[in-house]
């Protein structure tokens, strides 16, 4: 008999965690496993890449109403005489607006959001909250499963979450999965009583699939002038990614006389802020916010340099993909950077400021042999992680 699995994630709009889940689901042995997926939203770039065997559960009507704008949500819930839920929606909005950082707001708001999510029907052999916070809380509170697993994709120390809130949920998990040894060490320090539950499972990436998608487009995806070098970054437009550092570095490179353009693939709440900063720095046409791309790999393939200016990462799937496509890479010195790049052999790890990032990129622009050496080294590495799926099977036994 097939084992029944449930995965939970807020959406498949964009992001490394979302891409990682789609990759994982594409490698599951569906002869042995029956897989359900719970999403709060059925929209997103990666929906089309879900394997046909995955059954996407319907969004509960109570949550659909709750998720509307505050006025519309309260009005519709009141019309249905769901006054308690309407009041929870008001409290949710107030806390979201006035208290804490984005991480603690999501944690504390689960109290109100959870009232809009009924317990999921059916029983599962295992339920997996594939993203920290809400996904894990839903698995603990709303799912009947023999085993419950939470997934941490980030450096826990840097997210600003309240460990005391998570501790009560981690108490009820059977396994806590994270994406790198450094992230695991952080969880051991924060939650020593749960150290025996922590497993490391790398993001699943398939070189064959990535290279095939990269070759889907043969035309030039960048509007570049003659001799212009293209720098590419991928990530949500979010403070974590520090694209203000990228903008500063781009301005410095141009002031030093380099003919470059810097492109960002991603979307998020910081678009307006970054657009203003681009204008203030006089970088229109040189620093471009491309938005989301369902297939970013032709952009990575055709870029000259891949750069990641993050404040923190768990294990960046975008860096892994740039390595597969043998791009010279510059990253900032976030805590897990050395888990992904060997400085001086596969890329450059620079200090977290525009001056140093510009220096690293300038070094690559000046030294073609260094760029070639990094690319040649990356092309020899075994970078596929398809076998990581076996770790999941072991956890589920």
Confidence of residue 397 (pLDDT cuts 50, 70, 90): confident
Whether the per-residue pLDDT at 100 is higher than 80: the answer is no
CATH number where 46 lies: 3.40.50.2000
The two counts, helices (H) then strands (E), for the chain are: 17, 13
What ranges make up the beta strands (E) of 118-181?
123-129, 144-152, 175-178
Whether the per-residue pLDDT at 298 is higher than 80: the answer is yes
Q: What is the pLDDT of residues 310-361, one digit of tens each?
A: 998 888 889 999 999 999 999 999 988 988 999 999 999 999 999 999 999 9
* pLDDT at residue 256, as a whole number: 97
Give the integer Cα–Cα distance in Å for 147 and 36: 15
Whether the per-residue pLDDT at 135 is higher than 80: the answer is yes
Residues 17 and 93 in one domain: yes
* pLDDT at residue 319, as a whole number: 94
Pick the closest to residue 247 from 283, 222, 271, 273 (CA basis).
283
Residues 274 and 351 in one domain: yes
* pLDDT at residue 335, as a whole number: 86
* pLDDT at residue 299, as a whole number: 97
Residues 239 and 171 in one domain: no
Residues 163 and 241 in one domain: no
Confidence of residue 209 (pLDDT cuts 50, 70, 90): confident
Residues 35 and 125 in one domain: yes
Domains in the chain, number? 2
Indicate the average pLDDT of the chain: 93
Pick the closest to residue 110 from 84, 126, 97, 91 (CA basis).
91
Residues 167 and 238 in one domain: no
Return the axis-axis angle of helices 207-214 and 317-324, rounded to nearest 10°: 70
* pLDDT at residue 133, as a whole number: 95
* pLDDT at residue 39, as a whole number: 97
* pLDDT at residue 112, as a whole number: 95
Pick the closest to residue 240 from 305, 134, 316 (CA basis).
316
Residues 167 and 217 in one domain: no
Give the integer Cα–Cα distance in Å for 321 and 295: 12
* pLDDT at residue 1, as a whole number: 87
Residues 227 and 248 in one domain: yes
Residues 376 and 391 in one domain: no
Residue 384 vs residues 208, 209, 216: alpha-carbon distances, Å? 8, 10, 20
Residues 164 and 213 in one domain: no
Whether the per-residue pLDDT at 223 is higher than 80: the answer is yes
Average pLDDT value for residue range 90-119: 89
What is the model's pTM?
0.84
Give the integer Cα–Cα distance in Å for 74 and 382: 54
Residues 160 and 238 in one domain: no
Work out the percent of the chain whose per-residue pLDDT is above 70.
100
Highest mean pLDDT among 197-201, 217-221, 335-339: 197-201
Residues 281 and 195 in one domain: no
Range of the domain at 35: 3-205+387-396
Average pLDDT value for residue range 95-112: 85
What ranges make up the beta strands (E) of the chain?
3-8, 33-38, 55-56, 123-129, 144-152, 175-178, 198-200, 229-234, 260-265, 287-291, 305-308, 329-332, 347-350
Average pLDDT value for residue range 10-36: 91
């Amino acid at each position: 008999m097939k084992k029944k699995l449930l995965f939970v994630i807020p959406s498949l709009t964009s992001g490394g965690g979302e891409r990682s889940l789609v990759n994982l689901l594409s490698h599951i042995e569906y002869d042995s496993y029956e897989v359900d997926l719970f999403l709060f939203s059925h929209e997103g770039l990666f929906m089309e890449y879900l394997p046909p065997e995955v059954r996407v559960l319907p969004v509960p009507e109570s949550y659909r109403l709750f998720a509307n704008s505050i006025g519309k949500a309260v009005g519709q819930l009141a019309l249905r005489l769901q006054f308690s839920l309407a009041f929870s929606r008001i409290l949710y909005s107030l806390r979201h607006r006035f208290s804490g950082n984005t991480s603690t707001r999501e944690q504390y708001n689960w109290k109100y959001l959870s009232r809009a999510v009924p317990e999921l029907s059916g029983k599962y052999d295992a339920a997996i909250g594939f993203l920290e916070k809400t996904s894990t809380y839903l698995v603990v509170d709303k799912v009947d499963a023999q085993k419950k697993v939470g997934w941490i994709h980030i450096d826990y120390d840097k997210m600003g979450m309240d460990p005391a809130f998570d501790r009560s949920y981690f108490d009820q998990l059977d396994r806590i999965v994270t994406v790198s040894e450094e992230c695991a060490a952080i969880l051991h320090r924060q939650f020593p009583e749960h150290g025996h539950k922590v497993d490391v499972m790398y993001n699943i990436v398939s070189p064959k699939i990535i290279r095939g998608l990269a070759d889907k487009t043969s035309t030039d995806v960048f509007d570049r002038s003659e001799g212009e070098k293209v720098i590419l970054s991928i990530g949500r437009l979010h403070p974590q990614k520090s694209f203000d550092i990228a903008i500063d570095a781009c301005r410095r490179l141009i002031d030093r006389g380099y003919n470059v353009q810097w492109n960002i693939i991603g979307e998020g709440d910081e678009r307006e802020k970054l657009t203003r900063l681009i204008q203030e720095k006089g970088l229109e046409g040189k620093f471009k916010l491309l938005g989301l791309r369902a297939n970013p790999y032709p952009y990575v393939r055709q870029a000259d340099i891949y750069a990641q200016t993050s404040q923190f990462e768990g294990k960046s799937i975008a860096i892994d993909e740039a390595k597969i496509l043998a791009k010279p890479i510059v990253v900032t010195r976030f805590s897990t950077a050395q888990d992904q790049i060997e400085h001086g052999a596969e890329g450059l790890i620079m200090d977290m400021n525009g001056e140093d990032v510009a220096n690293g990129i300038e070094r690559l622009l000046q030294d073609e042999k260094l760029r070639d050496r990094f690319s040649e080294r990356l092309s020899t590495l075994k970078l596929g992680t398809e076998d990581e799926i076996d770790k999941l099977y072991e956890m589920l036994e």
